[in-house]
Structure 1
């Protein structure tokens, strides 16, 4: 393969990942934008909604725990394809059940299927994204996660529009399903085959660099805790923000979705601009400021006396929660030896927090109110502030960066 072809293939790979990263976000926020309507259809309490949403967590846990082994066997491209299909199928079943069979257990199972695809697929696509970042020798994961945020933003915007126009939940979700299937069909073939083999050491490299158990590495686990904290902060907003706004400020469902759009817009802005700030100030400083913004934002929202002030808090929360996950994945891939395994491990920790934490918070919210329950997010992001030095690049990398700045 000559260099021109290689560059062409790298460009196609990058564009495909940018597009495909948006689909889980689009599907996820489409479901979230309809939670107030589905809650009303079921006449469900906050606690019951927490149990229904726990179906998403149950499916995701299975997908997350199986991800590394399945990716190692099949490669990232087949896993991404299968999982996107599961996400799309799960979304279709959510719409059908909510419209024709509004029974909690059926929605639980639909979300479990959605979660299975989501959990495993997000690990696969992040492993592939980390490999793309290494191949391009460029910071790309924040921008890739920005595409996830763009997908959630589009989904939330369409949710607000369909609610305003009186479009049914079924029509809304089936429309997203059709568009998603078309996008998958167009772009999935641009991801290189065999990428999953990065999760397995070749015989020759194994002699020089024996495969280690990354779960026993202190730095990997601490990075995982950082990602856990920021993923919990992001996932809590994704799962509960519309309902928290509706219940906490006594407004209509459209207003809750619109405030959710503000959160997603802040996430998108921060992720698309993160590369500049990371190059200029470094990982540790950026992560510390992100934790500060998130803490201030959550605090403002909890204690806001009116919705406009709460919206300011939501925007700061979105800025702060945006960078921890992709930054942690980049840090996990610093050492090229076993890097894919570390990225996979950190992804698993992050998505467990992203998907399992919010349902547990919902159960707490049933007792003390959703806005008050979000004080747990405040505690978690403060912990991230103190853990932030862990993401510092290895000294050799820092020296190379310093020499480039001084040139």
Structure 2
């Protein structure tokens, strides 16, 4: 194994910061969702339409991100994504403060999703370049920093909610801080193409479409389940605690922070467990834990629900990053497979808000969270596709 260069270490630190900034600004917005619902005086179903607008924007950005990164490089692509997402957050915050109609707020939400989608794919692509340069798998660490960023964003959001700081002040300041971090971090990225990039691109072009590869599609399904498990908590957990248990908005955000903190811990501790026990065993146990956590949140007392949020967080920790690593098992096909898996996975952010919002209008948001348990049970069945490919299997899939 070659000794990592200073440039590779700097790129690693830069991408860690970029992942953290992504999580921070995302959680800053999500921490104010209960306030958005109250300020606009809308139902759970109407709120779900706003969240759906973010998902639509992301699904528009995902197919574009790979092409943009190929032409401009990961660094410029991340910056471009931030320049869409951050103004969208500022515009949405100001529109909510002015009690604007949903049709006025929705385009800003689409802008948020578009930027986040482009940003997310580019930072993951940079992560695979850095992994190859360092000679070891560190993708869970990048996602851990995303989770750490969400914890910081959620805790700050909880404090500012308790202090009654207006959304129109909180979110624009968060956007400015995020922009500074993104610009600094992307300035340390590795060049867009390493010395093997031409060989990798040729191999990808000669292979069949990743949309026709059963393993890639099933990894996408697993990532979709993981994203649904994580995304529903991000979108609805705070509101479920507020409306389901009659807690203050600030305590609802604390519940979200508990989920995010334990998800971060799961990602930090997960890498050695993956090395020791393998992807399949670890992922099965974690999806099962997410089922248990979901049941405690829905059927427990308030304090048991907080315990459930912690277990749910651990259960949701590794599905997404391990899915990214599984899609990139063959370096020559990694970019195209990551694009497919990311697109399928983000489908959870399209269906999740609408499904939970619809069920929330009929059964309450807290009871609607039971859907997460059902999705996790289904995910356990497809986890074996995450098993690493052997060299012979990589060659066979290219035929």
TM-superposed CA distance for 1:357, in Å, is: 2.1
Alignment of 1:64-83 (within 5 A): 64-83=62-81
Q: CA deviation at 1:24?
A: 1.8
Check whether the contact 2:262–2:313 (CA below 8 A) recurs between aligned residues: yes
Asked if the contact 1:128/1:195 (under 8 Å) is kept, the reply is no
Deviations 1:307-360 (A, max 9, x none): 101111111110001100000110111112211111121122112213542333
| In structure 2, distance between residues paired with 1:145 and 1:301 | 24
Q: Which residue of 1 aligns with 2:396?
A: none
1:227 aligns with 2:226: no
Match of 2:151 in 1: 153
Which residue pairs with 2:339 in the alignment? 344
Match of 2:291 in 1: 295
- How far is 1:49 from its partner? 0.5
Q: 2:73 touches 2:191 (CA, 8 Å); kept in 1?
A: yes
Q: What aligned pairs does 1:3-402 form with structure 2 within 5 A after superposition?
A: 7-195=5-193, 202=198, 206=202, 210-304=206-300, 306-395=301-390
Backbone CA RMSD of aligned residues: 2.3
Taking structure 1 as the reference length, what is the TM-score of the superposition? 0.91
Give the superposition deviation at 1:274: 1.0
Measure how far apart 1:196 and its partner are: 9.7
CA contact (8 A) 1:127 1:344 kept: no
What's the secondary structure of 2:331's corresponding residue? Answer: coil
Deviation at 1:242, TM superposition (A): 0.6
Distance 2:30 2:205 in 1: 45
* Shift in CA distance, 156/197, structure 1 to aligned 2, threshold 3 Å: farther
Task: Structure 1: state its 5+ residue gaps.
Answer: 399-407
Q: Distance in 1 between matches of 2:16 and 2:203?
A: 36
CA–CA distance in structure 2, aligned partners of residues 332 and 262 of structure 1: 30
Name the SS of the counterpart of 2:27 in structure 1: helix
Q: Secondary structure at the match of 1:191?
A: coil
Distance change >3 Å, CA 266–CA 337, structure 1 → 2: same
Partner of 1:401: none
**Alignment coverage as a number of residue pairs:** 393
Deviations 1:183-207 (A, max 9, x none): 1232221112324998xx7379737
Q: Distance in 1 between matches of 2:52 and 2:199?
A: 42
8 Å CA contact 2:150, 2:260 repeated in 1: yes
Describe the shift of the 1:231–1:4 C-alpha distance in structure 2 as closer, same or farther (beyond 3 A).
closer
* Stretch of structure 1 that moved more, 123-132 or 283-292: 123-132
Tell me how far 1:6 sits from its aligned partner: 6.7
CA separation of 1:384 and 1:113: change in aligned 2, threshold 3 A:
same
3-state SS, counterpart of residue 100 of structure 2: coil
In structure 2, C-alpha distance between the alignment counterparts of 1:351 and 1:283, rounded to whole Å = 21
- Maintained 8 Å contact 1:60/1:352: no
Q: Which runs of 5+ in 2 are unaligned?
A: 394-399
- TM-score (structure 2 length as normaliser): 0.93
Aligned-pair distance for 1:68?
2.3
Q: Distance in 2 between matches of 1:196 and 1:71?
A: 14
| 1:217-248 deviation per Cα after TM superposition (whole angstroms, max 9, x unaligned) | 01111111110101100000001111111111
What secondary structure is seen at the aligned counterpart in 1 of 2:190? coil
Inter-partner Cα distance in structure 2 for 1:271 and 1:170: 33
